[in-house]
Amino acid sequence: MNGITFDGIFFAMVGAAIAGLACCGSAMGIGIAGQAASGVVSEDPKKFGQALLLQALPGTQGIYGLLIAFVIMNKIGLLGGSGALDLTMVQGLYILASAVPVGLVGIVSGSAQGKAAAAAIMLISKRPEEVAKGMVYTAMVETYAVLALLISFLMLNSIQL
């Protein structure tokens, strides 16, 4: 232990990184939906717009992850001009813990939502007029990403620095 100290800032940064992992979920989800979309568009190029809308839906997990990462960085003063705050290790660990819901749930719900979106894209290949229903089914999955975001945000918000 030659003077290496894990200070609060370090743990807070790990927290921001975990929140950022939600992007993995979105990447997987959008990838899955994109494969289905290309298949459908190969049959009927006119469905590009509808398929794109559905493909975009699993993108929100990444946004939520970015949101929490941003709020963390903002909170510990990395983004302001005044430099990082002095955090205790416990405070850093609190912040780390608050980032776990959005990061972890983001990965799972992003890919699950991608599968639902892919199925919805299959749905519009046969019944393009039912796109709204496909969207709603897909959005059902997102509920849990939304809840995780709220948990993370409220936890973070209640940490006193």
Partner 1 sequence: MAIAKMEKLAVIGLSSEQGTFIEELMRLGVVQINAQESKLCDEKWNGLIQKDDAGKWVSKWEAELDRIENALILLDRFIDRKAPLIRERARISEREFDSTLEYEYEIRRQMLRLTKLSRRYSHMLLRENKAITARQALLPWQSYDIPAQDYKTQSTQVWQGVIPGMNDSADFLKILTDKTGYADAEVVHSDNEQHYISVVFYEPAAEEVQCVLRDLGFNRIALPINSGSVKEAIEELEAQLDALRDERKSIVEQVRSFESFEPTLKMYYDEIAMRKDRAVIREKFLVTDSTFYLEGWYPKIARKKVEALLLDRNCYYEITQPGKEEETPVLLLNKGIVQPFEAITKLYSLPASRGIDATPFFSFFYALFFGMMLSDAAYGIIITAGTFLIRRKYHLEGMLKQLVDMFFFCGISTTFWGLMFGSFFGDIITQVSTNFFGHAVHFPTLWFSPINDPMKLLFFSLGLGLIHVFLAMGISAYMAIRDGQPMDALFDTGFWYILILSLIGYLGGGMVEGAPAALPVVCKWLALGSALGIVATGGRQKKGIIGKIVGGLGSLYGITGYLSDVLSYSRILALGLATGVISSVFNTLGTLAGSGLMGALVMLLAFCIGHPYNIAINALGSFVHSCRLQYVEFFGRFYQGGGEGFRPFCENTKYVTILKEEL
> Which residues here bind partner 1, judged by CB under 8 A?
53, 56-57, 59-60, 63-64, 66-67, 70-71, 79, 131-133, 135-136, 138-140, 142-143, 146-147, 149-150, 153-154, 157
Nearer to partner 1, 89 or 151 (CB): 151
CB of 3 to partner 1, least distance (A): 32
Q: How far apart are CA 58 and CA 139, in angstroms?
A: 9
Smallest Cα–Cα separation from 20: which of 94, 99, 96? 99
Residue 110 has a CB neighbour count (10 Å cut-off) of 30
CB of 32 to partner 1, least distance (A): 18
**Contact partners, residue 103, CB within 8 Å, separation at least 6:** 18, 19, 20, 21, 22, 65, 68
Nearer to partner 1, 55 or 91 (CB): 55
CB of 101 to partner 1, least distance (A): 12
Nearer to partner 1, 8 or 59 (CB): 59
Residue 9 has a CB neighbour count (10 Å cut-off) of 19
Q: How far apart are CA 59 and CA 9, in angstroms?
A: 29
| Cβ–Cβ < 8 Å for 12, 87 | yes
| Cβ–Cβ < 8 Å for 64, 22 | yes
Which two structure tokens, joined as six digits, stand for 66? 């970015």
CB of 1 to partner 1, least distance (A): 36
Nearer to partner 1, 89 or 119 (CB): 119
CB of 93 to partner 1, least distance (A): 22
Nearer to partner 1, 35 or 157 (CB): 157
